[in-house]
Homo-oligomer: A and B are copies of this chain.
Amino acid sequence: MPRAKRRRKAVSTRDHLIAVSLALFNERGPDRVTTAQIAEAAGINEGNLYYYFKTKQALILTIFDRFEAAVDDLLDRDRAAGADPAAYVAFLTEWFEIVWRYRFLYRDFMGLIATAPELRRRIRAISDRIRDPVRQLIEHMRAAGLMDVSDEALDALLHNVWIVSTYWVVYLDVQEGVRALKKSHLEWGLKQVASLFQPHLSEPARHWLDGQSEADRSSV
């Protein structure tokens, strides 16, 4: 079946281009990666790249679609998981991994929306949808007597959770020159976010969280 073979090859080259582009964009930013460099890294000819993506922007938008799909998937699974704090740690961990995998989107955001303005709307929609379960978790914990925060403090806390959980990745990348996300980095990020919650926790919740981090350490 030559038809099936042809099609499989096509998908494969396309996916390979996406993977190679993503790696290069994360490394240097989309503006500092040329189509010639992408083609070379992918082992194909530059002209051939334009067979798969009519423009460079189409390639970037395709990568953004995948980012969006990864978030959709995460949120779908989270809706099933409910407000269990353990599930929330897993949720945040996966969010961190997604942000890291597509970190150029946050790091080079300004340049991206300059040529693709609709990205501003789309990335803000994603931000809002991620924020929701976090707010819900806090409200659940508060209702269960595990957390003590005023409405005002809750609002500030949510903003800070968002800033830290998004930009710690950029911070590692840009300020610390981290090139590969190791487990220790993820743990560091989670610890930073946990430390935002910690002073607001009641005694039982604090004990539970301490138990969690010890379990994490022993499972390394």
- Whether A195 contacts B111 by the Cβ 8 Å rule is no
- Whether A28 contacts B114 by the Cβ 8 Å rule is yes
Verify if A6 is at the interface (C-beta below 8 Å from B): no
Chain B residues within 8 Å of A191, by CB: 156
Using CB atoms, name the residue of chain B closest to A114: B32
Chain B residues within 8 Å of A124, by CB: 175
In-complex Cβ contact of A192 among B163, B166, B168, B192 (8 A): B163
Q: What's the minimum C-beta distance from A70 to chain B, rounded to whole angstroms? A: 19
Chain B residues within 8 Å of A167, by CB: 163, 166-167, 170-171
Chain B residues within 8 Å of A160, by CB: 160, 164, 192, 195-196
Chain B residues within 8 Å of A120, by CB: 177
Q: What's the minimum C-beta distance from A157 to chain B, rounded to whole angstroms? A: 7
Chain B residues within 8 Å of A123, by CB: 175
Q: A23-39 vs B: 1/0 string, CB under 8 Å?
A: 00000110110000000
In-complex Cβ contact of A174 among B110, B156, B173, B196 (8 A): B110
Q: A192-212 vs B: 1/0 string, CB under 8 Å?
A: 100110111000000000000
Using CB atoms, name the residue of chain B closest to A200: B199
- Where the two chains meet, the residues of A that have a C-beta atom closer than 8 Å to any C-beta of B are 28-29, 31-32, 106-111, 114, 120, 123-124, 127, 153, 156-157, 159-160, 162-164, 166-168, 170-171, 173-175, 177, 191-192, 195-196, 198-200
